[in-house]
Amino acid sequence: MTGLAKLIVAGGRGQTEPPELCKGKNGRGKFLTRHDGRRVGKVCSGCHDLKHYDDFGKHSKNMDGKRNICKICRNTQRRIKRQSKEYREKQREYNSRPEVKERKQEIRREHKKKNREQYALYDVRRRARKRALPDSLTLTQSAGIVSRFPYCPITGSDDLHTEHFIAIATGHGGGHTIQNVWRLDAYINNCKSDYNPFEFFRREDIINEIITDYGRTREQIEAGFLQVVEYLANQNEMTVQQFEEYTNYCYNNRKTDEEIEQLNAAGETVNSRKEFEAYTAAMSETIMQGVS
């Protein structure tokens, strides 16, 4: 139901006259009041539109218990505030306080205590996959990556995590090597988890969140992601298209726990590049046979 329809219905049955627009007792604000004294709407101080009370959030200090600006205007103001440099600096300063860090760590510790089995299983599986994947990143290479990505190329922030482009959880890819490591905003990295980056960074909800929370444009996000892809494609001696196909192969053909156990038992590591090349060759042969 639209705001106008709500106001019409709010006139109430049995009301012979429509509600009137009146000022408040202190002369401030404009309220739509029925003849029985009940207020059914008011004028938003932000957009200056007459709206139903349902369109306003609660505010206990106001006489009518409602905010003076509607929910849409309030959300817009909050979004603009979050995009401002001053707000982000305040948030960064707040999050860097020792007591805040300690409180967050305590929350994480409590969560681990309540979910010990889940964390234990996760750690075991991650260690197993790390053993089966290449792990050749040196300190010099790591320092080079830090120098290459002083800021997140996608969000522009400097609160970064070391990120594996092809997640270790897949049991595939470059593992912990220079061919697979870059730096990503900490919050976005936690959101990404083990999603395929080519799918994750093309999701509209993720793009809109980065635009809203980091003040980036869609073009900046796309350019930043392309910068990362070109960098890693070059490290893997592939074209951008080949690297995307390789990444998709790894995510679409995740290693099972049994396969990882067999590799670890045999002392072998995953060679995703070789598997991908064999897969590509087999697909090409199948296509050629179909054509002939």
The pLDDT tens digits for 129-175 are 777 888 888 888 888 999 999 999 999 998 888 899 999 888 888 78
Q: Are residues 68 and 136 in the same domain?
A: no
Which pLDDT does position 12 carry in this prediction?
47
Q: Are residues 169 and 249 in the same domain?
A: yes
Q: Are residues 69 and 132 in the same domain?
A: no
Q: Are residues 36 and 130 in the same domain?
A: no
Q: Are residues 40 and 119 in the same domain?
A: no
Q: Are residues 278 and 172 in the same domain?
A: yes
Specify the 3-state DSSP secondary structure of 179.
Answer: coil
| Domain stop point among 54, 79, 104 | 79
* Amino acid sitting at position 184: L
Q: Are residues 68 and 134 in the same domain?
A: no
Q: DSSP assignment of 209-277, as one string?
A: HHHHHH---HHHHHHHHHHHHHHHHHHTT--HHHHHHHHHHHHHTPPPHHHHHHHHHHT----HHHHHH
Q: Are residues 136 and 257 in the same domain?
A: yes
Q: Is residue 66 included in any domain, yes or no?
A: yes
Q: Are residues 56 and 124 in the same domain?
A: no
Q: Are residues 148 and 209 in the same domain?
A: yes
Q: Is residue 85 included in any domain, yes or no?
A: no
Q: Is residue 84 included in any domain, yes or no?
A: no
Residue 2 has pLDDT above 70, yes or no: no
Q: Is residue 158 included in any domain, yes or no?
A: yes
Beta strands 30-33 and 20-23 are antiparallel
The pLDDT tens digits for 230-244 are 999 999 999 999 999
Q: Is residue 27 included in any domain, yes or no?
A: yes
Overall number of domains in the chain: 2
The pLDDT tens digits for 59-114 are 888 877 888 889 999 988 888 888 788 888 888 888 888 898 888 889 888 988 88
182-216 per-residue burial string, b: 16 or more CB within 10 A, e: under 16: bbbbbbbbeebeeebbbeebeeeebbeebbebbbb
Q: Based on the number of CB atoms within 10 Å of its own CB, is 172 exposed (0-12), middle (13-18) or buried (19 or more)?
A: buried
Q: Is residue 290 included in any domain, yes or no?
A: no
Q: Is residue 87 included in any domain, yes or no?
A: no
| Domain stop point among 27, 61, 79 | 79
Q: Note down the domain range covering 71.
A: 3-79
pLDDT band at 124 (very low <50, low <70, confident <90, very high): low
Which pLDDT does position 45 carry in this prediction?
86
Q: Are residues 122 and 238 in the same domain?
A: yes
Q: Are residues 73 and 119 in the same domain?
A: no
- H or E element that contains 120: helix 116-132
Q: Is residue 23 included in any domain, yes or no?
A: yes
